[in-house]
Amino acid sequence: MAEMTKPGQTPAAEQEERNTRKSRVGLVVSDKMQKTVVVAVERRVPHPIYGKMMTRTKHFKAHDEENSAKTGDTVRIVETRPLSKDKRWRVVEIVERAR
């Protein structure tokens, strides 16, 4: 059976598109667990009726292998395979340390 690709797209480009992982930057709000941090990611969305910008916060549990991220740090997390019941992200880098 022929490869299913978009017109003008090679199978390698399709593979690259499929392997792109979501990345978020957020603030560590808890580091009480072992090798896990809770990261709060804020996004600004307009109100559906009034149009005023609102801040929406979502908490992600992220794997931190070295236990290096502390509360107040700004970190970059990337999507990964499920590591536990709630953990589907891992810490890639610490963007900024807490003061």
State pLDDT tens for residues 8-58.
Answer: 666 666 666 777 899 999 999 999 999 999 999 999 999 999 999 999 999
Pairing of strands 53-63, 87-96: parallel
Distance CA 86, CA 27 (A): 18
Q: Hey, what are 46's tokens?
A: 């307009």
Q: Hey, what are 83's tokens?
A: 């590591």
Band (pLDDT 50/70/90 cuts) for residue 7 is low
- Tens of pLDDT, residue by residue over 62-88, are 999 999 999 999 999 999 999 999 999
Share of the chain above pLDDT 70, in %: 83
- As a whole number, the mean pLDDT across the chain is 90
Residue type, 91: V
